[in-house]
Structure 1
Amino acid sequence: MTVEKDEKKGQTQPPADQARPPEELVTFSIDDIETSVPKGTLVIRAAEELGIDIPRFCDHPLLDPAGACRQCMVDVVDDGRGRQMPKPQTSCTLTAMPGMKVRTQYTSPVAEKAQRGMIEFLLINHPLDCPICDKGGECPLQNQAMSTGDGESRYEGEKRTYPKPINISSQVLLDRERCILCARCTRFSEQIAGDPFIALAERGALQQVAIYEKEPFESYFSGNTIQICPVGALTSSAYRFRSRPFDLVSTHTTCENCASGCDLRVDHRRGTVMRRMAGNDPEVNEEWNCDRGRFGFVSGRGDDRITTPLVRRGDELLPASWPEAIDAAVAGLQKAGKDVGVLTGGRLTVEDAYAYSRFARVGLGTNNIDFRARAHSAEETDFLANAVAGTGLGVTYAELERAKHVVLVGFEPEDESPIVFLRLRKAMRKKGLKVTTIAPFLSRGSQKLNATLVSAVPGGEPQALASVDLDGDTVVLVGERAAEIPGLLTMVLDTTGRSGARMAWIPRRAGERGAVEAGCLPHLLPGGRPLSDPAARVDAQAVWGADVPARVGLDATGMFNAVLAGELGALVVAGVEPEDFPKPRIALEALEEAGFVLSLEARESSVTARADVVLPISLLEERSGTFIDWEGRERPVHNVIPKKHVMTDGRALAALTDALGAPAAPRTVSAAKAEFDEFGPWSGNRAAEPRVAGSTAIEVGPGEAVLSTWRDLLDDSRCLDGEDALLGTAQRPVVAMGPTMAADAPEGALVEVSRGQRSVTLPLKIVENMASGCVWLPAHARGHNLSTELEATAGDLVRLDMIEPEASEGDGPEGAASVSTEGTK
């Protein structure tokens, strides 16, 4: 599909000749108010458009109609054919018809009586203990009982009770006597998330929410069932009975846990965040979010929080004042003498990422800057400069829903961008979207998308992509893991360029797209300006008031190697975890060997332990700014809680810039954003497109396999420290292999995976569609980090040995049997 560019907004718009055809309208009346709505509209939706509030419990605009609670009944005095319907109808399942006349509780005694009767029926067994219920104060049943129900109950029997609570999962608790059987939770799980692990069991008065005995409710989206529950039946184990809704102050912001850009409602009390909920943004996350974004906010709020600057004196890091720490940092950077490297990480707002980009060039006079605390390559650097930076709003969520074919390349949406997964699943269910995934096997998420597998052992993805039919109705979604495969990003540009398919790059971290736009790469300036272009450097010099070094800098791997070679004297590190790199040992050695390390961090880490100066940085809820999501859409970050004794990264870097004697940097978020916006997108020539030969086939010997790996959504990330209830729903670490390779080994048997002198032992999971000669392990499962345990990444050869049940520790080779790799070469 061709697109037209909105130069003012930097956004792509559908051309006029591809506008949608006008919708067929239906005219009818509600409470004697005539209205016209698109054909197929439900009466309850039409009433909402008119501002008429019809009470409901089971209805939700993003779920299929159920008519389960019967609370939304209306009186149809004319069905459009001159006949009155003999009894009240549920407006959440009633489709508007031409000439229909509907009366709600406001104009019909019949509708009012039906609604009052349903409220009375629902309250027969429902406990009347609103003051202690978690939902009290924000409960639709409570509100409607007051507005629609009677003041006194006629029921004189004994209310039904159950033992409570029931653990639906480690995160979600169920109080069965509060449940009104609206089926919102079960419909969400089945229709939206694709996790039908909860269901309504039994019949009649015995009906209740239940879980499958052999299938625990391990969903990445379980928290949404708590939020959409119209009563206090489902609660969070982390929030249960911790606060009252009327004690909370709510602030909307953007989630920092991935690049989806979800709107969040943060509820806080007395300076402490109590809970986070999904905000309503139809263009992005609709009304959903993942459990990581909802529950994963405890990290950094514990005893390891850094609230005062630290300066190393001898072997100890000791508290210091801000002026002392700034002076020590400047002295250390200047004393290092040699060049300096800047590692920014991928979780910064665009304003803070821009501050690092500016500080490196203006304050330190270097282009040694990289945000990628992960596997990366020179090919990816060129790809980001050519196809991502400065391109504005590209493929959107809405366009994903309209696409006829989506191809996933090095990308598992459920694990790496959950809202993208939900949108793809929605399009698959409602519009028949075809999804193709280029991967070693069909993951859990790909199965829920009914994806077609194009099997590829790591390294073979370029050839696999070349075999897929692409056209103008296709969208190719490329994950950050594509950087690990030589030639894959080049193939993406070639195939999409030839076919007219559209492409979007979706990183895992919330700040990566913004870091690209801000120029946190060694050969890229803000707005996608190539450092090699003199005109691009002139643009930067005009904004910054300082010369920009022309020499291309080092990427993160290059910086580590340069430190170990004695060619780089100091490192400035912000929010980077060495364990995230393919070779953490090298990263840690570089931190040990660097002449000077300046860390800007919110909590103690392996970096701060090796730093010479540590500057405390504010948490996300303590700052404001902007994230740029994978679409290229700006997403607002609002200050939730006033910060104390800490600064944003940008404010600290401005102080360092002044102390270094460089031209003054912006001191506020708004000033930094205004200066960043001065750059605008680059309109000149781009750098040369990457041209990298595809990788060669790997010979797999007896007992060997090619390693495939990626990170699960809920993993060993430090961002999830302290979230034991949330991590209880994480996927269990396994070794996944095909039936041929597993031979006669039973599922659950222990397999030792080794590389050189390093090894990890995990239970076996047999996967029917695994690529021949390939084995999969989670990259950062809880308690297992492949980058530290194996020092291995995707595409590496590993050895597999089955641990015999009778083998004991120390048995050595006699206790292990090689896994079959017959026919896998």
Structure 2
Amino acid sequence: MTVAPEAQSRPVPEGHVRLTIDGVEVDAPKGELLIRTAERMGIVIPRFCDHPLLDPAGACRQCLVEVEMNGRPMPKPQASCTMTVADGMVVRTQRTSAVADKAQQGVMELLLINHPLDCPICDKGGECPLQNQALKHGRAESRFHDVKRTFPKPIAISSQILLDRERCVLCQRCTRFSKQIAGDPFIELLERGAVQQVGIGEQQPFQSYFSGNTIQICPVGALTSAQYRFRSRPFDLVSTPGQCEHCASGCEIRNDWRRGKVMRRLAGDDPEVNEEWICDKGRFAFRYTTADDRFTRPQVREDGELRPASWTEALRVAAEGLAAARDAGGVGVLPGGRLTTEDAYAYAKFTRIALRSNDIDFRARAHSAEELRFLESAVVGSGPETGVVYRDFESAPAVLCVAFEPEEESPIVFLRLRKAARKHGTQIHHLGQWLSPGVEKTTTIMHDGGPVRTGSLVRCPPGGEAAALSTLPSEVDEALRRPGAILLVGERAAQIPGLYSEVLRTAARTGARVAWIPRRAGERGAVEAGALPTLLPGGRPVADPDARAELERVWGLGAGTLPATPGRDGTAILTAAAGGQLSGLLVGGVDPDDLPDPALAERALHRVDFVVSLEMRPSAVTRHADVVLPVAAAVEKSGSYLNWEGRTREFGTTIEGTGMLPDCRVLDTLAVEMDTDLFTQTPAAAGGELRRLGGHTGARPPGPDEPVEPPTAPGPGQALLATWRQLLDNGSMQVGEPNLAGTARDPVAVLSPRTAQRAGLVPGRRVEIRTARGAVTLDVRTAEMPDDVVWVPADSGASRVHRTLGAGHGALVDLAAVAPMTAAAGNGHAGGPTTTHQDGGRA
């Protein structure tokens, strides 16, 4: 934009037009909305329906301005949120036009006819655009003296979202967000004229992972949260910027808190990452920090029971036990994937110095040696300057998602893929088993003219992804060969032999760029921090003597101090512990149900001589722990995450003075008790040292190059298991939020019609998925997918795949039809999922 008195004497820049707003000449890009041009000039035009990330609607008419074209005034005021700039246009806003000012006052008067004056009790009171604009642009007195319209309230759009209909001004922000951004058109404008209102269809509840955004963008407080409703006033809250701790998207958030307790979360504004959106998990799943069973003091086991202890005693007992276990057989370290980068660095340093070992692996999930080589060669050291970033989706001709379910595993990636497809024509392709809701919403975009196909699903059996990637359909392969194409690979690829190798071969063949998107917030940073058995901090290979020597100099260690032998991965650590080859375990926030074999983890925890757990709440690990050291939640400490782009996401402490310590401080003090220093007393100290170390400057090792293995062929009565986690599931960080849990997707088994028919799954029957370990019984849904395949969620409700079945993605399972449960059986409602273990009991 250019504003200058001599504008008439200069040529109009290419792609721009010249117009006048409130007597000031301005050059604006062609196609820009009038309201945006005015904003950039510092002129605020009141509005309700306008939002910069939504398509124009012109619904509220609050932004009316006076417009002249070719010296002739238009016959009536125009909505500046729908009119684009034009050469020679003259615009007068409410600042210089009595006509525009009167029109805006008239619209405001109309809106306030039925809008209740309940600002003191409204959740939006104090931060309400209607409240602010009524004072600034409305009349001082109302001419309306009749009875305002009322409705029964609130209406539950979902278990989380409540609607007060009399407050609604029909701006359509919520319905446009649902359709355009989230792709969940469950909320709609009903009726017409004076009786028009927002609602849902009786058979279509608002089941969306992004519903909380409608609350934040609602300009009048018509949509409220069951979690926050009437809990606090905006002017009672202190706002602190933060970063979401749930997934690798790296969302900017805002924590609003009072009296040492977070009351709500809002989406922050970061155009490079999450724009102005967050998922419902990031918005609502924060009550785990104030759970009643939260550890507030260290615990030491005595006579078989944990008892509270002082920090001095607990650290002494932990140090003596770990030192003894280290000297006896060694200690394995499982930090988990939820750590900040600084905490992961402290774990990596503690393992190498205090425990003299490389037996550390943050991957508290299914993993493989092939994945480890992929991380070493293609992930470590990459960042926004060199790798794929969110904005690249919009310029990419095509994106292929491999073993990756964006809506479930990285919701903001899902939203940005939808935006790329809807606004920029990017083809979004998926390699998987069935047209899940997330896949459907990125391959078919709803426009006003109807559905538009923007991508495809390349179907393959679970375990056959590598073979399918090597023989892609011609249209997908050709799309990947166009400059700028992207391959997004998820952590599920670790369960498919040869897939990471084939991803790299496909990238080399087509020229497509590769990005790795794990599910947890701390995984990308843990790679850089060296929380892996073959990598030291900064991506230095354990087996490289020069890299070890460099690290020894920085850490002030003697030459040859660091162990030279690569360590065991997570499964090997647990196998060694269960077999007596390791004497101790140091465990961060790891849920054994996330591991590929929870039973192995239980045996390992039971077998080893000594277990130390750094945790917030009781878990399967703390049941075996000899010492539990309570650690701080994300809002109780500072630090940073690396999101999947490799972009640093720093945050400060929100809630001070809780007495909870970050993992890096606990490990630093524990190391002192073991007669060594880590110098990670604070996240700032740990992060500063990691940055000073820098990245590995030597050659990267070659990537994995394993052969493609075909999937196992199912026999009679068998099927291949496809599974991944849903966004809202049994995760412990969603505890204490029943309203959020009410919006989770039901656990069902998905099969092809032919597979269901062969298994005898006639209407009214349910399916039992069985292995030698146990069985899960679920309701059936049929979909177009490969035959002899069954999909179930990995950890939703009673569908606990790893714990109950002892199986993972691509495993063989048995199928059998069973009669539906009665209301008196199982979990108390007809048709609910059940789990059967080897002992025949119910869980």
Q: TM-score range by the shorter chain?
A: over 0.9
1:13 is matched with none
1:406 is matched with 399
1:772 aligns with 2:787: yes
2:771 is matched with 755
- The counterpart of 1:621, out of the listed 635, 639, 642, is 635
- The counterpart of 1:24, out of the listed 4, 7, 15, is 15
1:191 aligns with 2:180: yes
In structure 1, distance between residues paired with 2:220 and 2:821: 52
Q: Is the 8 A contact 2:346 2:678 kept in 1?
A: no
In structure 1, distance between residues paired with 2:224 and 2:824: 43
In structure 1, distance between residues paired with 2:465 and 2:278: 30
- What is the CA deviation profile of residues 715-752 of structure 1, one whole-angstrom value per residue up to 9, with x for unaligned ones? 11111112111111111111100111112745663111
1:783 is matched with 798
My pick for the range that moved more, 637-646 or 585-594, is: 637-646
My pick for the range that moved more, 333-342 or 271-280, is: 333-342
Aligned residue runs from structure 1 range 507-522, under 5 A: 507-522=518-533
Deviation at 1:551, TM superposition (A): 0.8
Structure 2: state its 5+ residue gaps.
1-12, 444-454, 826-843
- What is the CA deviation profile of residues 603-640 of structure 1, one whole-angstrom value per residue up to 9, with x for unaligned ones? 11111121111111011100000100000000012200
My pick for the range that moved more, 796-805 or 112-121, is: 796-805
Q: Is the 8 A contact 1:406 1:474 kept in 2?
A: yes
1:268 is matched with 257
Deviation at 1:656, TM superposition (A): 1.4
Deviation at 1:806, TM superposition (A): 9.8
DSSP-derived class of the 1:34 partner: strand
1:456 aligns with 2:430: no
Q: 1:693 to 1:808 in 2, by over 3 A?
A: farther
- What is the CA deviation profile of residues 386-437 of structure 1, one whole-angstrom value per residue up to 9, with x for unaligned ones? 1101122210100111111000000000000000000000111111111111
1:391 aligns with 2:398: no
Q: 1:313 to 1:139 in 2, by over 3 A?
A: same
1:817 is matched with none
The runs of at least 4 consecutive aligned structure 1 residues that moved more than 3 Å come to 744-749, 804-810
Q: Is the 8 A contact 1:747 1:763 kept in 2?
A: no
Q: Is the 8 A contact 1:438 1:461 kept in 2?
A: yes
In structure 2, distance between residues paired with 1:43 and 1:367: 61
1:361 aligns with 2:352: yes
2:3 is matched with none
DSSP-derived class of the 1:568 partner: coil
1:200 is matched with 189
- What is the CA deviation profile of residues 538-582 of structure 1, one whole-angstrom value per residue up to 9, with x for unaligned ones? 221122112211011011101111111211011110101111112
Deviation at 1:804, TM superposition (A): 4.0
DSSP-derived class of the 1:364 partner: coil
Deviation at 1:494, TM superposition (A): 1.1
1:796 aligns with 2:811: yes
Q: Is the 8 A contact 2:764 2:820 kept in 1?
A: no
Q: Is the 8 A contact 1:618 1:647 kept in 2?
A: yes
In structure 2, distance between residues paired with 1:619 and 1:455: 40
Deviation at 1:789, TM superposition (A): 1.6
In structure 1, distance between residues paired with 2:692 and 2:505: 33
Deviation at 1:663, TM superposition (A): 3.6
- The counterpart of 2:28, out of the listed 17, 30, 37, is 37
Q: 1:805 to 1:53 in 2, by over 3 A?
A: closer
In structure 2, distance between residues paired with 1:325 and 1:422: 46
- What is the CA deviation profile of residues 331-383 of structure 1, one whole-angstrom value per residue up to 9, with x for unaligned ones? 10122222111100001110010010011011111000000110000000111
Q: Is the 8 A contact 2:462 2:711 kept in 1?
A: no
Deviation at 1:693, TM superposition (A): 2.2
- The counterpart of 2:120, out of the listed 131, 138, 157, is 131
Q: Is the 8 A contact 1:545 1:663 kept in 2?
A: no
1:742 is matched with 756
Deviation at 1:666, TM superposition (A): 2.4
1:600 aligns with 2:614: yes
- What is the CA deviation profile of residues 197-225 of structure 1, one whole-angstrom value per residue up to 9, with x for unaligned ones? 01001011100001022111100000000
1:818 is matched with none
In structure 2, distance between residues paired with 1:668 and 1:385: 28
1:234 is matched with 223
1:432 is matched with 425
In structure 2, distance between residues paired with 1:428 and 1:639: 37
1:444 aligns with 2:437: yes
Q: Is the 8 A contact 1:391 1:681 kept in 2?
A: no
Aligned residue runs from structure 1 range 53-64, under 5 A: 53-64=44-55
2:414 is matched with 421
Q: 1:757 to 1:791 in 2, by over 3 A?
A: closer
Q: Is the 8 A contact 1:300 1:603 kept in 2?
A: no
Matched pairs, number? 786
Q: Is the 8 A contact 1:395 1:504 kept in 2?
A: yes
Q: Is the 8 A contact 1:623 1:643 kept in 2?
A: no
Structure 2 length normalisation: TM-score?
Answer: 0.92
Structure 1: state its 5+ residue gaps.
1-21, 811-825
In structure 2, distance between residues paired with 1:465 and 1:679: 38
Q: 1:806 to 1:609 in 2, by over 3 A?
A: closer
Structure 1 length normalisation: TM-score?
Answer: 0.94
In structure 2, distance between residues paired with 1:549 and 1:194: 52
Deviation at 1:807, TM superposition (A): 10
1:113 aligns with 2:129: no
Q: Is the 8 A contact 1:58 1:184 kept in 2?
A: yes
1:504 aligns with 2:519: no
Q: Is the 8 A contact 1:544 1:663 kept in 2?
A: no
DSSP-derived class of the 1:608 partner: coil
In structure 2, distance between residues paired with 1:23 and 1:378: 54
Q: 1:697 to 1:516 in 2, by over 3 A?
A: same
- The counterpart of 1:51, out of the listed 42, 66, 69, is 42
Q: Is the 8 A contact 2:365 2:595 kept in 1?
A: yes
DSSP-derived class of the 2:209 partner: coil
Deviation at 1:157, TM superposition (A): 1.4
In structure 1, distance between residues paired with 2:818 and 2:737: 32
In structure 1, distance between residues paired with 2:281 and 2:14: 39
In structure 2, distance between residues paired with 1:648 and 1:742: 50
Aligned residue runs from structure 1 range 542-553, under 5 A: 542-546=553-557, 547-553=561-567
In structure 2, distance between residues paired with 1:806 and 1:189: 36
- What is the CA deviation profile of residues 217-275 of structure 1, one whole-angstrom value per residue up to 9, with x for unaligned ones? 10000000000000010000000000000000000110001000000010001000000
In structure 2, distance between residues paired with 1:430 and 1:416: 23
Q: Is the 8 A contact 2:349 2:678 kept in 1?
A: no
Q: Is the 8 A contact 1:253 1:637 kept in 2?
A: yes
In structure 1, distance between residues paired with 2:693 and 2:378: 18
Q: 1:573 to 1:806 in 2, by over 3 A?
A: closer
Identity score, percent: 56
Q: Is the 8 A contact 1:582 1:791 kept in 2?
A: yes
Deviation at 1:782, TM superposition (A): 2.1
DSSP-derived class of the 1:132 partner: coil
Deviation at 1:665, TM superposition (A): 2.1
Q: Is the 8 A contact 1:618 1:643 kept in 2?
A: no
DSSP-derived class of the 2:807 partner: coil
Q: Is the 8 A contact 1:747 1:766 kept in 2?
A: no
1:667 is matched with 681
DSSP-derived class of the 1:610 partner: coil
DSSP-derived class of the 2:289 partner: coil
Q: 1:302 to 1:308 in 2, by over 3 A?
A: same
The one-letter amino acid paired with 1:614 is: V
Q: 1:146 to 1:747 in 2, by over 3 A?
A: farther
1:713 is matched with 727
2:655 is matched with 641
1:729 aligns with 2:743: yes
Deviation at 1:498, TM superposition (A): 2.5
